[in-house]
Structure 1
Amino acid sequence: MFVDEVEIRIQAGGGGNGCLAFRREKFVPRGGPSGGDGGDGGDVILESSERHNTLVHFRFNPEHKAGRGGHGEGSNRQGKRGRDVVLRVPVGTVVADALSGERLADFTEPGQQQILAHGGHGGRGNARFATSTNQAPRRVEPGQPGEFRKLKLELKLLAEVGLVGFPNVGKSTLISVLSAARPKIADYPFTTLTPNLGVVRISGDEDADSFVVADVPGLIEGAHAGAGLGTRFLRHIERTRVLAHLVDVSGFSGRDPVHDVEVIEGELRDFGAGLSEKPALLVASKVDIADADKLAALRALAVLRQQPLHEISAVTGAGVDALKYALAQRLRETKLEPPEAAAS
């Protein structure tokens, strides 16, 4: 099960109480205070891990609590520190406060750690309060409570190229040809319900040996407002550097390719997060069964925009290699360009 959004509740451990005790030994009837401090509570720590690729392990286990610090003891013995709890999340997870919406962490590399709830400090024992005028204090401090937080975790896939387009335009078939990914492929809309990642290898290209492609479920009009779960799908391409916009030009779709281009571009623009500013390659899909008028209309749009049009068939393999090298070249260019130029 692919789960990319969950809410969890975390509770750091409370600090142990300080101890009220006095030294009692033979021949030392009034040995003075000897109450030790309480131990600090355990922290709740989030750590990014490559072994996880979904948030499903939080779906049915949303509450996590660290250990409480031990109470202080006599003979100036400090309480034991509470046990930390380490929660492992996939690389690409964004953590926000569920109540305020404040972003707390963004895990972009494996092995990153961040404390999201700090344990409470242990209370001081009565030995801490001894003074020249109060040599037998009976004052102690209770341990402080640990932090409590309600967190919202969102997984945003880490990929360099994102495939976008309407449902059933051939995105899953293309990623299965470009990479070793094997998504579900069928001839009906919304076959893909979860994002898929594939690694594309470029032989003989020293600057871009490989890159990661994300195939997100098809978008529909109103996706930026949540139609067809569009907002959940669009966030998975926020981190990409280049987009490949697939347009179905077959005679069986019953769609207008020029209108499809305008709709998808409008959804990317309305969603925000800089999606409409990313470099995009226009791709005519299913050219092996293309409708001549539709393909001509899309070619005319590309000429009008002075934008290259990549014509491919993922079934026959026509144009796929050329598209692969074009994507690698555009990625190479975005590495060399400043952010403003790459987005233009």
Structure 2
Amino acid sequence: MFKQCRPTVCLFRQVLRTHLHQIRYISDEELYSHNIVLDTIPRNQTPYKHRKKADSNFTDLMVVKLTSGDGGNGSVSFFRDAGHAKGPPDGGDGGDGGNIYVQAVEGETSLHKLRKRIIAESGRAGQKDQMNGRNGMDVIIKVPVGTNITLAPGCELERDNAPFGEGWVHMSGFREYNMERDFFLDLKKRKSLDDKAQDRTERIQDSFPPDGIDLTRPGPPILLLKGGRGGLGNRHFHTADVRNPRFATVGRAGLTGVFRVELKLLADLGLVGLPNAGKSTLLRAISNARPRVGHWAFTTMTPTVGTISLDVASSDRTFTVADIPGIIAGAGMNRGLGTDFLRHIERAGGLVFVIGLDGEDPVADLKTLMNELGSQRMFGKRVLVVATKADLPQTENRYRALAEFTISRGWRTLPVSAINRNADVEVLIRMMAEIADAIPYQAL
């Protein structure tokens, strides 16, 4: 029986030997050099649920951890030339760590490019011949206009510095020698006082506004986290009592903080409606935005901002409208898409409720939207109620009931048919411009 299986075993060994020559072993250095991409799912076999998630790049809320660069260590060095075996100390100071800045720029509409972990470059160590180390490279985080940055709840800014009086760089083999000298113990006490002073200075400059930073307009970079200060070289400790200082100081640690980065789109008007109420169709009819349009609920999955021009020949008289995903009853309890996107209409000066007249009770639909938004989001805002799909049959009575309810609250209302692009669309643009303060508002 063994003789009958032997040809099979030999064939297996030959195939295995052939494949072993084709195996390429990957070193740890190559694996972490970001030159190798490991895909768990082949691109041509990616399931639909994975492709759908990858297609949506819009992100309006992120929690990021930021760390500024550490200061470089001071250098322990002595001058040497042909006539001096060991000259005076000439160790340079360490470079300062890189800072982290944030800047609001135009053209960005999402936070999906923002990384969850950002670390600035540390300063380089000092060198001989009194050469100071290079400062670490600064990091500038570019975010869309309308971004609000706050400290994450329960988090504080921290620097992981050595205890007061500690943090020394000793020349090789001289650590125990230095620790036994009286002059070094005296220097530790003096350094402890200096560390306390630096700690107080850092606490003042590291303070972050309790309400956060609100980037409502483009501007220059704003300092978020300051890098650590570089350490001192041994040339600073050359005195009459200490002729050969074989020690230097380490750099100060960088600053670490966890931040909540939240994008609130800046638009003059907020477009709010139930799923499939015709918001996206309406926005396409009156603006240059191109949201997706369909006959199924939750067509709009991400906020869209459209720009509306009142004068074709001039772009000066314009206003913007934010279209957010549809809201359903119980959105406050995270039903449907929840109320996550309502932050994008908090800064809007006016609200435009879009109510489809194809529903059984348009007044009840409007009350649903009002309850989900809440009185705080609606406070102080002008309101316009747009009744869409007015071209459908048997909508006259429904619109009459809706108009009576809106007029009783001092709101304006208008029936339109965006699909037919009739003359009502032009009237709607004028009324929306009044709500957005683009033209003088005429009270009813």
Tell me if TM exceeds 0.5.
yes
* Per-residue deviation, 1:206: 8.4
Match among 68, 88, 93 for residue 12 of structure 1: 68
Closer/same/farther in 2, CA of residues 26 and 48 from structure 1, 3 Å limit = same
1:258 equivalenced with 2:312 (yes/no): no
Look up the match of 1:227: 335
5+ long unaligned stretches in structure 2: 1-56, 156-209
* Per-residue deviation, 1:304: 2.4
Closer/same/farther in 2, CA of residues 235 and 205 from structure 1, 3 Å limit = farther
89-98 or 101-110, larger mean C-alpha shift: 101-110
* Per-residue deviation, 1:195: 0.8
68-77 or 204-213, larger mean C-alpha shift: 204-213
Residue type of the partner of 2:79? Answer: R
Look up the match of 1:328: 433
The answer to whether the 8 Å contact 1:268/1:276 transfers is no
Match among 106, 110, 133 for residue 218 of structure 2: 110
Aligned residue pairs total: 330
Look up the match of 1:304: 408
Look up the match of 1:342: none
* Per-residue deviation, 1:112: 3.8
C-alpha separation between the residues in 1 aligned to 2:222 and 2:88? Answer: 42
* Per-residue deviation, 1:168: 1.2
C-alpha separation between the residues in 1 aligned to 2:280 and 2:240? Answer: 79
Look up the match of 1:339: none
1:285 equivalenced with 2:393 (yes/no): no
C-alpha separation between the residues in 1 aligned to 2:396 and 2:291? Answer: 30
Closer/same/farther in 2, CA of residues 49 and 173 from structure 1, 3 Å limit = same
304-313 or 96-105, larger mean C-alpha shift: 96-105
Alpha-carbon deviations, 1:66-90, whole Å to 9, x = none?
1111111122111110112222222
Look up the match of 2:98: 42
Alpha-carbon deviations, 1:249-273, whole Å to 9, x = none?
22xx33x211222221122226x4x
Closer/same/farther in 2, CA of residues 262 and 239 from structure 1, 3 Å limit = same
* Per-residue deviation, 1:48: 2.2
1:70 equivalenced with 2:124 (yes/no): yes
1:146 equivalenced with 2:254 (yes/no): yes
C-alpha separation between the residues in 1 aligned to 2:385 and 2:406? Answer: 8
C-alpha separation between the residues in 2 aligned to 1:246 and 1:213? Answer: 13
* Per-residue deviation, 1:223: 2.6
5+ long unaligned stretches in structure 1: 337-344
Match among 272, 275, 287 for residue 164 of structure 1: 272
Match among 146, 157, 161 for residue 92 of structure 1: 146
Closer/same/farther in 2, CA of residues 111 and 137 from structure 1, 3 Å limit = same
Alpha-carbon deviations, 1:13-65, whole Å to 9, x = none?
1111011222334555664322211000112222223242222223xx42222
The answer to whether the 8 Å contact 2:68/2:100 transfers is yes
Identity percentage over the alignment? 36
Residue type of the partner of 2:130? Answer: N
C-alpha separation between the residues in 2 aligned to 1:65 and 1:204? Answer: 47
The answer to whether the 8 Å contact 1:94/1:103 transfers is no
Match among 286, 301, 305 for residue 197 of structure 1: 305
The answer to whether the 8 Å contact 2:93/2:132 transfers is yes
* Per-residue deviation, 1:293: 2.6
Closer/same/farther in 2, CA of residues 275 and 86 from structure 1, 3 Å limit = same
* Per-residue deviation, 1:218: 0.9
Alpha-carbon deviations, 1:168-195, whole Å to 9, x = none?
1111011101112111111121111111
The answer to whether the 8 Å contact 2:383/2:411 transfers is no
198-207 or 17-26, larger mean C-alpha shift: 198-207
Greater gyration radius: 2
C-alpha separation between the residues in 2 aligned to 1:183 and 1:5? Answer: 21
The answer to whether the 8 Å contact 2:383/2:412 transfers is no
C-alpha separation between the residues in 2 aligned to 1:95 and 1:304? Answer: 40
Residue type of the partner of 1:45? Answer: Y
Look up the match of 2:89: 33
Closer/same/farther in 2, CA of residues 232 and 249 from structure 1, 3 Å limit = same
Closer/same/farther in 2, CA of residues 208 and 82 from structure 1, 3 Å limit = closer
* Per-residue deviation, 1:151: 2.4
1:180 equivalenced with 2:283 (yes/no): no
Closer/same/farther in 2, CA of residues 293 and 120 from structure 1, 3 Å limit = same
The answer to whether the 8 Å contact 1:36/1:72 transfers is yes
Look up the match of 1:57: 113
Residue type of the partner of 2:416? Answer: I
Residue type of the partner of 1:320? Answer: V
Residue type of the partner of 1:305? Answer: R
* Per-residue deviation, 1:153: 1.9
Q: What is the DSSP-based 3-state SS (H/G/I as helix, E as strand, rest coil) of the residue aligned with 1:57? A: coil
Closer/same/farther in 2, CA of residues 107 and 89 from structure 1, 3 Å limit = same
TM-score scaled by length of structure 1: 0.87
Residue type of the partner of 2:428? Answer: L
Look up the match of 1:119: 227
The answer to whether the 8 Å contact 2:317/2:438 transfers is no
Q: What is the DSSP-based 3-state SS (H/G/I as helix, E as strand, rest coil) of the residue aligned with 1:309? A: strand
Residue type of the partner of 2:371? Answer: G
The answer to whether the 8 Å contact 2:75/2:91 transfers is yes
The two structures, once aligned, show a CA RMSD in angstroms of: 2.6
TM-score scaled by length of structure 2: 0.68
C-alpha separation between the residues in 1 aligned to 2:440 and 2:75? Answer: 60
C-alpha separation between the residues in 2 aligned to 1:330 and 1:208? Answer: 17
